[in-house]
Each structure stands twice: as C-alpha cells, then as structure tokens.
Structure 1
Amino acid sequence: MSSRLGRPLLFLLLGAQLALLTWQVRRTHGTLGLAGEVTLRLTGPVAHAFRGAADRIAEVRLRAQQRRLLASENAALRAEVGELRRERLRLAALAVEADRLAAALAYERAQPLGLRAAEVVFVDHSSRVRSLVIRCGRGARINQAVVAEAGVVGRVIATAGAYARVQLLTDRAASLGAQLEEAGSQGLLRGGPDGQLRLEFVPRQLPVAIGDRVVTAGIDGVFPPGLPVGAVAGVEGGTEVFQTLRVAPAVDFRRLGMVFLVDGPAPPADELVRGGDAGR
C-alpha cells in the first residue's frame, strides 16, 4: 500500500518541481505571465490609438499655426502693396503738378504782359455771379485782367488781402471788347447762361466760318488786345445789319488750377504768345 501512495506522490513532486523550474526560466527571460499578457493585449492598442490621435492633433495645430502665419504675412503684403500703390499715385500726381507748373512758368516767362501767377482756390458756378476765388500773394486790384494759358478767364471784382474774386468770362453780366482774329471785325462779347459766349454787333455781310478764332480787341481798358477768347461755334439771330455769333470759350473753367494776373501794361497784340505756344 505504501508503494501505491508513494508513486503518485513522486509524480506530484516531480510536476511541481518542473513547474517551478519553468516559472523561474520565464521570469529570467522577461516573460510577463498570463496577467501581464492580458494587460499588454488590452493597453497596447489603446496606447497606440492615443499616440496616433496625439500625432494628428499636433499636426492640426501645426497646420493652423502655419495658416495663421501665412494669413498674417498676406495681410502685411497686401498693406505694403496698398501703400506702394498710394505712393505711386502720389508720385504721379506730383509729376502732373510739376508739368503743370513748368508749363505755367514757361507761359509766364514767354508773355510780355507782366504776368503774376495765382492759385485757384475754388470755382463757383452756383451763385448769382459765376466766379472763382484765387490766392494771389501780395493782392490784386479791382478790374485787373485774369488769364490762363488757353486764354481770357475774367476780371477781378473783389479783393481781400491775399485773396480775390474773379468774375468769369461766362458770367451773364460779363462783357468785353472782342474781334474776329482774321477778319478784324470788332464786337461786344457777353457771357451767357449756357456757359457759352455771344459776340454781338458783327456785320451781317461779313463771312464767318465755324472755328474762326475770337480774341480781345483791347478797347475796354481791362484786357490787352490779342488774347484768345474762344472760337466761333455758330451763328444766331441779330438785326438786318448785325449778326450774333455763338462763341465757345477757349478756357475750360472746370479744370483751372492756376491763373495769371496781368500786372504790366498792354503790349502790342502781335507780341502776345497764344495759349499752347509757350515754350515752343
């Protein structure tokens, strides 16, 4: 009976010893065991997923940061481009102004009239009198003639220190002695409500063509002779003896930036430089 009990006990002891040796070998080589393997199988995928999510979040943040940086750089470039465009427009305006001043200076030097440049402050077409206000430095005198490069502008009707008001040639109350340049026939030039001029008392038998130049006659005591006034634009009524000519002004009163006061005495008409001929 003792042999029957000893044999199973021996096998049990041998099995336990073998299990102990196996456990020691696995522990020596880093094996986690059943619980460790289960834990690793559960936490490994979760850790991998979290790692991938963290990488994607970091990538999204990096792209957002890059987009913000690009947007800031684009805004700075747009502002710089806008500033360069404004600077280009400013330089272009300065170039136009320089050309205008150079042309005005050439015209002033070429004329024997004794001209003095004056800056146009504003043009008034809405009030009872069509006029403009000029800044003329040391002042002006009443009834002083005012001209531009293209021709006659008007006469001074009021002064205030360095400023003066000029009645435009197109004002309905304005008038001056004028004549047809080629024919030499004189008449009375008046302003009109439509912005054009009327040359009255022109002999009806006198042949007149559209485009004939009209100049000052120098008989009114204000304007020197031979200054451009305008060109014939049409023939209107009159009397049996005289005809009335419609005259388009030589000066564009909407674009006046600088005019000239006539300070000197009137020279002979043939010495005057026509508008647009200065500097040639």
Structure 2
Amino acid sequence: MLTHPDFDPVALSLGPLQVHWYGIMYLFAFASAWFIAMRRSKREDSPVTKAQVENLITYGAFGVVLGGRVGYVVFYNFEAWMRDPMLLFRIWEGGMSFHGGLIGVLLAMLFYAHRIHIPYFRLTDFVAPIVPLGLAFGRLGNFIGQELWGRPTEGPWAMVFPKDPDLLPRHPSQLYQFAMEGVLLFSLVYWFSRKPRPTGAVSGVFLIGYACFRIIAEFAREPDQHIQFDLYGWVTRGQLLSLPMLLLGVAMVIYAYALPKLAPQSDSPEQKKI
C-alpha cells in the first residue's frame, strides 16, 4: 500500500504572492498546446498560420475556463445552482468539468473559424491533437491536490490520501486518467493526424478515444458524493456524459470516410466526348 506524498498546494511563495500547483498545471497545459500548435502550423495542410496560433490558444483558454465552470455547475451541481445562482461565480470554491470545457472550446473554435474564414471541422481537426497533453497536466493537478481520487481497492498499488476522511486505500485514478486521457490519447490522435485525413476524421478519433478512456477510468474513480450512480447502480455521471461523445465520434469518422464516396463524381474526359 502506498501513501500520497501530501504535497503542499502552494508550489512557490513570493511574499504575499502564492503560486499554486494547480495554476502551474494550467500554465503547462496552455504552454504545451501552444508548442504543439506552432509545430502543426508549419505543415502545408495546416488551416492555421503561425501568426494565428496565439489568438487560437487565447480563444481556447477562454472556452476551457468558462465552459469548464459552467459545465461543472450545470452537469454536477444544477440543483444547488438553482438555489444559489451566485455559485457559478464562486470559482475559488473549485469545480471544473471536462465536458463543459469541451463544449466551451468547441464554441470558441466556432467563433474563431468564422473570424479567420476557414471550415469549422478543419479547425477542430487541427486543435484535437493539442488537447490531450493539457488534460494530462490537469489530471496531475488533481493528483497533487488530492481531488477526484479512486474507489477503495486491495491492490498493491492502492494509495491512501491524507485528505480522505476515511483514510481508505484507493485507486490513484487521477494517474489512470493522466495515462489514458492524456498520454495514450495524445499518442493516438497525434499519430493519426500525422498524415492528411478526411475532414472531421481527426476530431472523431479524439472524441472516440477520450470517451472510451473516460468510461473505463470511471470504473476506478469514486463517483461524486452528492450524485453517486445515475443508472443501474454502477453508471456514473462521467460515463453518461461521455456516451454522446462516443456516438458523435463514431458518426464523424464514418461520415468523413463515407462522404467522398457518396459525393457525385464529375464526368471524365472520355465520358464528355461521348
């Protein structure tokens, strides 16, 4: 059995200024997105130029933060929000949702695609490979902050979290999600996007990959205390929110590869002579 290192949430203190680990993880997430976007912008098929990357990351950052907060309140604390509308603005109390952040980024990319006059799904295909490493850093932040720990287990890798009032040996599910939703998803989507793909295919693979990894990880993650299970005594809120992502991703990949075959073919020169 392992014991969590019980990190100090404050990574660095400079007089009255305190730098928290979670903030550092966000900084690393946006920095990794910028770095990968700059590399991808050099490709001949890139819809985004190097000069546009900075604005792209800015739009994405606003989408993540605003969408993540709204999503957390709507998806996980809707009744409390109805009783206390100001809950949405008390961000210092914590609470961010990946699914809300995803919706926020998709809306932000819709605005940005319109602004720079490029097809929407070409932009989302560009963005998809730059997202997973940011998710990896976010899960490290959850681990450092002892948030979203796993269910009790007797496995030799079980970990006791000092902030857990029950002090039970649990799955370090944050690290599972770091590995699956971060490292593995990045490897999959980045590898798939190395070659030109039909428009929408890369976005679809990202949605499928994240949904599958999240659904798997939820079996080890402790469900939210105030929600527990939504269906059948084992289906969690995270799994329910990931299912539409999986279905949409499959539909996008099928559509991306089927559309060229369904499109009417122009007449060949030989046909025109007849």
TM-score scaled by length of structure 2: 0.23
Greater C-alpha Rg: 1
Higher strand share: 1
What is the TM-score normalised by the length of structure 1? Answer: 0.22
Q: Which has the higher helix share?
A: 2
